[in-house]
Structure 1
Amino acid sequence: MSVSNENLKTISKNYQKNVDYFKVQLGVEPNYDVFCHEMIIGGKQAAFFVIQGLPDTEVLSDIFRHLSNLEREQIVPNTVEKLKKQHLAHFQLDTSDQTDKIIDAVLMGQTAIVVEGEPEAILLDLRKYAARGPEEPDLEKVVRGSRDGFTETLVFNTMLVRRRIRDRSLRMEAMQVGRRSKTDICVSYLADVANLDLVEEIKKMLRSIDIDGLPMAEKSVEELITPGSYWNPLPKVRYTERPDVAAQHLFEGHILIMVDTSPSIIILPTTYFHQMQHAEEYRQSPTIGVYLRWVRFFAIFVSVFLLPLWFLFSIEPSLLPQSLKYIGPSKVGKVPLIAQFIIAEGAVDVIRMAAIHTPAPLTTSLGLIAALMIGDLAVTIGLFAPEVVMYTAVAATAVFATPSYELGMAHRLARLFLLLMVYIIHLPGFILGSIAMILFAGFTKSFGVPYLWPLVPFNFAALKTVLLRTPVPAQNKRPSILHTQDITRQTVKSAPAFKPMTKEKKKQTKEKEKEK
């Protein structure tokens, strides 16, 4: 039987047999970036298996230089143990006799060392990924606050969280998903805070994933652990690229899922109102935070209901009081109103997609083309009513006030649904459509948590924290719906009142200064 067809489960006593097997399995011959470097260490043959570009080449060169100068008496007997403890001074070092584990380790960027006559291979983790800096994410910018953000490298992301949470109960549990991709995934939580039953359920779901790879990283993971909700547009998890937002959710008792190669971190479970919060509200004073939050709520309401309401009043002007009769188009245009709305909505999405694919120097030109040559011309020649263009622009702008991009897209679909309901059965359509959307969201759950909590089921104390940006001294309890082990975030204490210095005290202070 040839070496290529033989399946070695463990390291063989025959050095050449091991080397030939790993060369075939790793594809050393056909691959230009997979290397097998053979050398003599203390009179013994040794082979280094490595993928070009993944390990730190400077450190690897220093290791080669040191090992090539060793004498036989320095490494025998117990060669592997002596190499580990005396000559390979690195904290990320392991051994294994399982060939599959060794091959997987090399494919993940580690360096495998096979030594003649030894029953184990040494696995040295010298990975040094090419990665961009932790820049502020575009979707979650703040006026004042930290400017770092998650990157595509899992190690960097866990480091950013560790920097903010120096707690002994913080857990970063790693696993691999994907038969071929073997993507690294990290589940993070506070062991003495989070609901451990939910943590185990999440880890069980991740381990049960049986797929060849995760090319779309965190989005693939989301769909694989939320079965049965593929056609539900409401996001079942929250995404963030901000380490401070991720840390805040860990303190509340949420669970994080970090996927290598993605800067977006999954936060679960989540609710509708979680998706509507933004870090900017907590970077300002509570009063300004409340104002910003209510402006955001209003913008979200406008993004969903403005167009359907205006369309309803346009086709049913009798619903308006006399003082609001000016609402509605003076000229409908050559195209029916419902068609105008659908075309306008589609045009906004086309412009959005074109802006993503347009080179940065040309984005200004794209905006001018969309606004002047398309929108203005459509109104001028009478195809569109001016109000349709204006209200569509207002609704499209309001969508971007939603912190969660995924929830904003769900609101866009909700707006189209209401427009069609109004077109079909007018006022009853608007009422029934609104009720249907609320019921749909009410029956939705995110990993057992009702999506509209604390509105459904009703919890007044929690609802206050949703409607108002509470001051930090008042943030005493964790969300009860998460069923955390520790519900208290801080002990309620009244700050000592400021007392101005009396004249007698000032006099005593001056006398002490003179004595000194």
Structure 2
Amino acid sequence: MLWSKNSMKEKKPEEKEKTRISQSLDENIELLDAQMGIKKNFDVLTRQLVIGGKNVTLLFVDGLTNDQIVTLVLQNLTRLDHADMVPDSIKKLFRGSLGYTEVEEVEYLEDIVTKVLSGPLAILVDGSSKALIMDARIYPIRSPEEPDLERVVRGSRDGFVETLVFNTALIRRRIRDPKLRMEYFQVGIRSKSDVIVCYIEDIANPDLVDSIKEKIEYIKIDGIPMGEKSVEELISPGSFWNPFPKVRYTERPDVAAMHLLEGHVLVLVDTSPSVIITPATYFHHLQHAEEYRQNPTVGVYLRWVRFLGVAASLFLLPLWFLFASSPGLLPPQLSYIGISQPSEIPLIIQFILAEISIDMIRLATIHTPSALATSTGIIAALLIGELATRVGLFAQEVILYTAIVAIGTFLTPSIEIANANRLVRLFLLIVTALFRAPGFIFGVAGILVFLALNKSFGIPYLWPLAPFNLKALASIVVRMPVPVRNTRPSILKPIDRDRQVLAAPARKPSGGGKNK
């Protein structure tokens, strides 16, 4: 159930009273030094100037301010005379002399601290009870490259980066709708991290939007150094024992734009190249951009291959273990399924060791320099695959089926759902080893019930399978052509359900005949 509009407002603590800017420049600098440690920090700098007979101080963080822009602006300011600075210096600078686009007035010292530590530059004038904030910041940034986890054969090669304003620009480039909204929040009492809630106003469900915004506003923590993952855990509590992700991550702007047009809400966090998509069902994690970059028939085939791989990663090992340990369950035609050369180690121990070995290889490859990653994989494959079977540590079939399952795990588009499926597979292996066929059956049933009871921001996690929706389920099983996908998912309760505007039939001419 979606949170009501006013469900959290009563719990929010009272805001601390702010300190107004004094007309004494020295007093302001002294108070700012007490809060920011200007004299103790080598990278928090001040620059004293005399502009039009007025003492002016610039306050900024070295490395976050674009020196070229500031230099050009100061060249204009140094030409001002006394008449250009009186009677109201801040107002005259703001409205006429400060030739820069992103400038705002502030009245409180706390606003100066927050803004300056975020990167903008503060301009304080002696005798003025306000200050100017000039957003001439510049952050270290890498080029928008294609994300490794969501590569496509044909399609755009840009991806989100760690700088928030670049990510919002990538979305706006694809959706030039005046109803697209990017609402700004700051999260973290100490970190003051920038967070954006993105949605299309006349499509997204207002209750869903309000629920997410209120949860973000209510976050009271010192900082979110882990970026989007910290935000996810703070706005979707109760997921500690639940391995299944309640949101979807993407690093592709086209995928983010597609979900916006369906009625989803995005959460963007500064310093994070991944965007949170809310809400997200289990089947959202099984879709990939490659399916929509190919012919619909090819897209259907790719989707079915992916579904088959995900199903194998979940059920192949428990099923084979069940049939290998209980041969009587197999018909005579499948009697060859089993172990050709038994090992001294119990079968369930072999599978658990094989699973741990695969994860050790995966983690070692991640933490190994790129030049050595291939060599690490080859060495691990030889040691675990070849030598382990020769010495009798693993049966050959265990290596074969574990390799197939590993491929199915890597076929899963979402690394979060792949990790959850890995834990489910281990759970099914253990209950099958303990209780054989009843354990497997009740284990699968228990997982399905658990998923059916889950919700992501009020949306059933197994929709459209539970609750059942035939039309929506068909669009998941089959990659529909674009002209057929003319409605948005009903479970999101979008304001505008139609995706395509049907053209009015052409009218016949009222008069006829040629001119005589």
What is the correspondence of 1:239-258 to structure 2 with a 5 Å cutoff?
Answer: 239-258=249-268
**Counterpart pick for 1:89 among 99, 104, 107:** 99
Question: Distance in 2 between the 1:322 and 1:299 partners?
Answer: 27
Tell me the equivalent position of 2:469.
Answer: 459
Question: Distance in 2 between the 1:251 and 1:259 partners?
Answer: 20
1:17 correspondence with 2:27: yes
Structure 1 residues 64 and 426: alpha-carbon distance in aligned structure 2, compared to 1, 3 A threshold: same
Tell me the equivalent position of 1:503.
Answer: none
What is the correspondence of 1:436-475 to structure 2 with a 5 Å cutoff?
Answer: 436-475=446-485
Answer whether contact 2:54 2:85 (CA < 8 A) is retained.
Answer: no
> Structure 1: which amino acid aligns with 2:431?
M
What is the correspondence of 1:410-489 to structure 2 with a 5 Å cutoff?
Answer: 410-489=420-499
**Counterpart pick for 2:285 among 275, 300, 305:** 275
The Cα shift of 1:363 comes to 0.8
1:260 correspondence with 2:252: no
Deviations 1:439-475 (A, max 9, x none): 1111111011001111101111111101100000001
Deviations 1:315-349 (A, max 9, x none): 00111111111111111212111000000000111
Deviations 1:126-179 (A, max 9, x none): 011110011000000000000000000110000000000000110000010100
> Structure 2: which amino acid aligns with 1:79?
S
1:357 correspondence with 2:361: no
Tell me the equivalent position of 2:190.
Answer: 180
1:102 correspondence with 2:98: no
Deviations 1:45-82 (A, max 9, x none): 01100000111101112223322232112222221111
Question: Distance in 2 between the 1:128 and 1:29 partners?
Answer: 23
Answer whether contact 2:171 2:256 (CA < 8 A) is retained.
Answer: yes
Question: Distance in 2 between the 1:144 and 1:123 partners?
Answer: 44
1:400 aligned counterpart, secondary structure: helix
Answer whether contact 1:63 1:88 (CA < 8 A) is retained.
Answer: yes
Displaced runs of 4 or more, over 6 A: 493-496
The Cα shift of 1:494 comes to 11
Answer whether contact 2:46 2:58 (CA < 8 A) is retained.
Answer: yes
**Counterpart pick for 1:374 among 384, 390, 404:** 384
Tell me the equivalent position of 1:144.
Answer: 154
Tell me the equivalent position of 2:3.
Answer: none
Structure 1 residues 8 and 478: alpha-carbon distance in aligned structure 2, compared to 1, 3 A threshold: closer
Answer whether contact 1:476 1:492 (CA < 8 A) is retained.
Answer: no
Tell me the equivalent position of 2:6.
Answer: none
1:326 correspondence with 2:326: no
Answer whether contact 2:65 2:136 (CA < 8 A) is retained.
Answer: yes
Question: Distance in 2 between the 1:147 and 1:72 partners?
Answer: 54
The Cα shift of 1:8 comes to 7.7
The Cα shift of 1:492 comes to 4.6
The Cα shift of 1:20 comes to 1.8
The Cα shift of 1:12 comes to 1.2
> Structure 2: which amino acid aligns with 1:241?
E
> Structure 1: which amino acid aligns with 2:489?
P
> Structure 1: which amino acid aligns with 2:443?
G
Structure 1 residues 494 and 61: alpha-carbon distance in aligned structure 2, compared to 1, 3 A threshold: closer
2:483 aligned counterpart, secondary structure: helix
> Structure 1: which amino acid aligns with 2:184?
A
Deviations 1:269-328 (A, max 9, x none): 111111100000000111001100111110000000110111011100111111111111
> Structure 2: which amino acid aligns with 1:143?
V
Question: Distance in 2 between the 1:116 and 1:280 partners?
Answer: 60
Tell me the equivalent position of 1:406.
Answer: 416
Deviations 1:9-64 (A, max 9, x none): 11112221112222232211111101011110111101100000111101112223
Identity of aligned residues (%): 53
Answer whether contact 1:334 1:384 (CA < 8 A) is retained.
Answer: no
**Counterpart pick for 1:193 among 182, 185, 203:** 203
Deviates more, 1:178-187 or 1:330-339: 330-339
Question: Distance in 2 between the 1:201 and 1:385 partners?
Answer: 52
Q: Structure 2 length normalisation: TM-score?
A: 0.93
**Counterpart pick for 2:48 among 38, 43, 48:** 38
> Structure 1: which amino acid aligns with 2:87?
P
Question: Distance in 2 between the 1:309 and 1:23 partners?
Answer: 67
Compute the RMSD of aligned alpha carbons.
1.4
Answer whether contact 1:332 1:384 (CA < 8 A) is retained.
Answer: no
Answer whether contact 2:64 2:138 (CA < 8 A) is retained.
Answer: yes
Question: Distance in 2 between the 1:214 and 1:381 partners?
Answer: 49
Answer whether contact 1:185 1:258 (CA < 8 A) is retained.
Answer: yes
Question: Distance in 2 between the 1:203 and 1:494 partners?
Answer: 39
1:474 aligned counterpart, secondary structure: coil
Answer whether contact 1:48 1:114 (CA < 8 A) is retained.
Answer: yes
Specify every segment of 5 or more residues in structure 2 that has no aligned partner in the other structure, as ranges.
Answer: 1-16, 507-516
1:126 correspondence with 2:142: no
Tell me the equivalent position of 1:308.
Answer: 318
Answer whether contact 2:313 2:408 (CA < 8 A) is retained.
Answer: yes
1:51 correspondence with 2:47: no
The Cα shift of 1:495 comes to 11
Tell me the equivalent position of 1:514.
Answer: none
> Structure 1: which amino acid aligns with 2:104?
D
Tell me the equivalent position of 1:238.
Answer: 248
Answer whether contact 1:111 1:124 (CA < 8 A) is retained.
Answer: yes
Question: Distance in 1 between the 2:345 and 2:359 partners?
Answer: 20
Structure 1 residues 328 and 493: alpha-carbon distance in aligned structure 2, compared to 1, 3 A threshold: farther
Question: Distance in 2 between the 1:31 and 1:15 partners?
Answer: 20
Structure 1 residues 494 and 457: alpha-carbon distance in aligned structure 2, compared to 1, 3 A threshold: farther
1:388 aligned counterpart, secondary structure: helix
> Structure 2: which amino acid aligns with 1:420?
I
> Structure 2: which amino acid aligns with 1:305?
F
Tell me the equivalent position of 2:511.
Answer: none
Tell me the equivalent position of 2:239.
Answer: 229
The Cα shift of 1:365 comes to 1.2
1:351 aligned counterpart, secondary structure: helix
> Structure 2: which amino acid aligns with 1:444?
N
Q: How many residues in Structure 1 have an aligned counterpart in Structure 2?
A: 490
1:166 correspondence with 2:173: no
The Cα shift of 1:491 comes to 3.2
